Structure 1
Amino acid sequence: MSRITSIRTIRIGERPNLIWVEVTTDEGLTGLGEAFRGAAAVEAVIHESVAPMLIGRDSRDIEPISRALLTPYVGFGGSSAEVRAASAIDIALWDLKGQRHGIPVHEALGGKSRDKVRSYNTCAGYDYNTKSAQRRDIGATDEARGPYDDQVAFMRDAGQLAESLLSEGFNAMKIWPFDIYAPATQGVSITLADLKKGLEPFAKIRRAVGERMEIMAELHSLWSYPAALSICRALEEFNITWAEDPIAKMDDVASLAELRRAVRVPICASETLGGKVAFRDLLVAGATDIVMLDLAWCGGLTEARKIAALAEAWARPVAPHDCTGPITLIASVHLAMHAPTAMFQEVVRATLATWYRDLVTVLPRVEQGWVLPMEGPGLGAMLLPAVAQREDAILRSSGR
């Protein structure tokens, strides 16, 4: 047996959106998971609802545990606190499985489909997403805090940023210059003047590096259908790789499918969705070209592999999300190595170079724009002991 004896959560004041969960068994093994956004709510779900169900249960029963945690009486819709808690627990259970057998998670999932996966750089800054809301108000006059303050860079000179990324081997990048224009109308519409200004970074990239750089446009679920239609049609001339999360509610499959039929840019959806059923509905409706999922929001690795299988059945590529925390990235790399239709693994060079390193023992290697497999049993990384010893750490345990 491999009975769960305790569950511990860790949060730190400096990164209030992040929470880590450690699941310990009577074998003396500890698996690590992670969730993001609403960390205090996730903590409450884990200790008040999840722990009483799991303490004493066999940690090898990943599938039935996943089903139980993802079908509570309430809280099962989308990426709720319940789903985020289930995601963190599930990642930890897969870490335990790999450790128990002495194999990486991607091998435990069924083996690698590739020896490396292509990456793109999401052009965020050092503290992007750290607080409760994303910063969308950065403009060309903001001061860069370091060489990888890429959100400032794409608003200031996206062409120069593209050249910097190419010099490091990245030939794909994601930017969101339209976000700052959404608050004026709550995303209901966009003026022609703002549309033109939002297109300028794409034009600068093409002038600077031509077709050597693939560009993804992140629209952050900010826009009505007419506004998204205007933006996507305007982006067609720049031959972008995808327009991501273009409308305000990404579970509105009817509007998203209508948009996809009306534009020539590929649609990518959606990191914001939880559970395989939401992704099935997207695929059945013909609402997306690329399936993006976040392992800390969709239900963990167990649910993610099912979503990837659905994407494969509909001949759609998969692109795991990373703009949250290091364990989610590491788990995503394992999935991207395994899933047959994985297209990209998102990375943020600003976080890889800085605070991700302060939290975990090992990070994925990115070489010339390619992410290499994690090595070692389980996830292949642990939370640094110093994280739980910080003055701003908040620890909570259930079990013995």
Structure 2
Amino acid sequence: MRIDRIRTLRLPEHANLVHVLVESDDGVSGLGETFIGAAAVEAYIHETVAPALLGQDPLAIEAHARRLSGVLGRAGAGVESRGNSAVDIALWDLFGKVTGQPLYQLLGGRSRRAVRIYNTCAGYGYTRGAGTGVGSDNWGLDEAEPPGPYEDLQAFLTDAGTLAESLLEQGVTAMKIWPFDTIAEETHGQEITTTQLRAGLEPLRQIRERVGDAMDVMLEFHSMWSLPAALRITAAADEYRPYWYEDLLPTQELDGLRRIADRTRTPLTLSETVAGTTNFRRLFASGAVGIAMADVGWLGGVTAARKVAAIAESHGLPIAPHDCTGPVVLATSAHLSAHLPNGFLQETVRAFYTSWYRDLVVELPVIADGTITPSDAPGHGIELQPDLFSREDAVLVESRR
């Protein structure tokens, strides 16, 4: 069996998303995905990855991962790392189909049948436009009428208590919000006034007032703050018992992150933006991390994710896979969360899961009663909707041997 064809698919309405299909000469296909810089990733895959992989054994996954890492993409989750991640996911999916086994079984079996989820409180249009999605200009709040009931970003900005009640009614007991981001944009993250601090804490106050401690609340900061401002925020926010502080500073600022970790009783979660096992090893060894996070579509795919999880486990850290990007990453992450001995929590976005994720793929892992269960189908268990390939606006590129 040899890799015969590699295809990529992009759709303008999902400007950040690119899907990769790796196909063998006996007709088996694996599906991968990554997010941000989709056109650049597409070019990298066809210019660099395809010449390296076409004609090769698709089941030599570890060898391919090592070869593709080369000297590129090691310092962060850049184009090379994201492209390699998508291809690696596709190779594992293909491996599962060849053997007739679900991904969690290929990895060594389940550690748990279902995994607790948290809801990242994005809305339907969040990060749909091109770009990184960090700034409020890409929050997608300019639609006159949301397409469904889960415009959760607007909800946490205006009535976080009612939003928490809505999630609890579905059995979801954890939620992630980022109420300080617009303040960071105003001050470039260099300072925060007492008035601004009170405004940023208001959603937490509303949640605690409405539902008490029934809801765990994660605070996301998108690496937008300076050390003094971050210390001021955490000192005030600790009162509301947040579940974690995520990416308060850029991850290369390890000394500052360690100073914050030493002064707060709330664990720091780091970091979806890191790629490569060496970088994660340094991050965990710094002592700043309380909870590990990794994105399988950015850090190097399944091959890298399980190694990063093992490094985290050696430091006594649990790991919570990231997904605020696409349905293939969610499905793959669900398998990892179910398998990994230190997996314990899976990120989801109900606005995505109930809308455009379903437009792209045939099946999704089951979410019910506040948990997610990976598919028992071979590989990660999902396929793209067949009609995507015939859409007039579809950007399809293929490389053949």
Name the counterpart of 1:276: 277
Name the counterpart of 1:109: 107
| Residues in 1 aligned to 2:258 and 2:365: alpha-carbon distance in whole angstroms | 35
Moved more, 129-138 or 355-364: 129-138
- Given the superposition, is the C-alpha separation of residues 323 and 139 from structure 1 closer, same or farther in structure 2, using an over 3 Å criterion? closer
Task: Give % identity.
Answer: 49
Question: What is the TM-score normalised by the length of structure 1?
Answer: 0.97
C-alpha contact 1:141 1:156 (8 A) present in aligned 2: no
C-alpha contact 2:75 2:279 (8 A) present in aligned 1: no
Return the offset for 1:141. Answer: 11
| Residues in 1 aligned to 2:267 and 2:2: alpha-carbon distance in whole angstroms | 46
C-alpha distance after superposition, 1:124-176 (max 9, x if no partner): 00011111242526699996623100000001100000000001110100000
C-alpha distance after superposition, 1:7-65 (max 9, x if no partner): 00000000010000000011210000001000011011100011000000101110011
Name the counterpart of 2:98: 100
**Counterpart amino acid of 1:98?**
G
Name the counterpart of 2:192: 190
| Residues in 2 aligned to 1:50 and 1:314: alpha-carbon distance in whole angstroms | 33
**Counterpart amino acid of 1:21?**
V
Matches within 5 A, 1:32-111: 32-71=31-70, 73-111=71-109
Q: 2:128 aligns with which of 127, 130, 137?
A: 130
Return the offset for 1:380. Answer: 0.7
Matches within 5 A, 1:340-379: 340-379=341-380
Return the offset for 1:259. Answer: 1.5
RMSD of equivalent CA atoms: 1.5
C-alpha contact 1:253 1:281 (8 A) present in aligned 2: no
Report runs of 4+ in structure 1 exceeding 4 Å deviation.
137-144
- Given the superposition, is the C-alpha separation of residues 160 and 141 from structure 1 closer, same or farther in structure 2, using an over 3 Å criterion? farther
Name the counterpart of 1:227: 229
Name the counterpart of 2:164: 162
| Residues in 1 aligned to 2:169 and 2:30: alpha-carbon distance in whole angstroms | 37
C-alpha contact 1:235 1:265 (8 A) present in aligned 2: no
Q: Does 1:300 find its partner at 2:298?
A: no
C-alpha contact 1:139 1:155 (8 A) present in aligned 2: no
Name the counterpart of 1:211: 213
Name the counterpart of 1:323: 324
Moved more, 54-63 or 139-148: 139-148
| Residues in 2 aligned to 1:143 and 1:65: alpha-carbon distance in whole angstroms | 47
Question: What is the TM-score normalised by the length of structure 2?
Answer: 0.96
Query: In structure 2, the residue corresponding to 1:320 is in which secondary structure?
Result: coil
C-alpha contact 1:8 1:21 (8 A) present in aligned 2: yes
Query: In structure 2, the residue corresponding to 1:10 is in which secondary structure?
Result: strand
| Residues in 2 aligned to 1:74 and 1:156: alpha-carbon distance in whole angstroms | 43
Query: In structure 1, the residue corresponding to 2:188 is in which secondary structure?
Result: coil
Q: Does 1:245 find its partner at 2:247?
A: yes
| Residues in 1 aligned to 2:72 and 2:143: alpha-carbon distance in whole angstroms | 43
Query: In structure 2, the residue corresponding to 1:293 is in which secondary structure?
Result: coil
Query: In structure 2, the residue corresponding to 1:31 is in which secondary structure?
Result: strand
Query: In structure 1, the residue corresponding to 2:186 is in which secondary structure?
Result: coil
Query: In structure 2, the residue corresponding to 1:343 is in which secondary structure?
Result: coil
C-alpha distance after superposition, 1:226-277 (max 9, x if no partner): 1111111111011111000001x21222221122112221100000001111
C-alpha contact 1:140 1:155 (8 A) present in aligned 2: no
| Residues in 2 aligned to 1:139 and 1:192: alpha-carbon distance in whole angstroms | 28
Name the counterpart of 2:180: 178
C-alpha contact 1:233 1:264 (8 A) present in aligned 2: no
| Residues in 2 aligned to 1:392 and 1:177: alpha-carbon distance in whole angstroms | 36
**Counterpart amino acid of 1:388?**
F
C-alpha distance after superposition, 1:328-348 (max 9, x if no partner): 111101111110011210000
| Residues in 1 aligned to 2:41 and 2:132: alpha-carbon distance in whole angstroms | 17
Name the counterpart of 1:263: 264
C-alpha contact 2:82 2:300 (8 A) present in aligned 1: yes
Q: Can you give the 5+ residue segments of structure 1 that lack an aligned partner in the other structure?
A: none
- Given the superposition, is the C-alpha separation of residues 143 and 225 from structure 1 closer, same or farther in structure 2, using an over 3 Å criterion? farther
C-alpha contact 2:331 2:374 (8 A) present in aligned 1: no
Query: In structure 1, the residue corresponding to 2:203 is in which secondary structure?
Result: helix
C-alpha contact 1:334 1:373 (8 A) present in aligned 2: yes
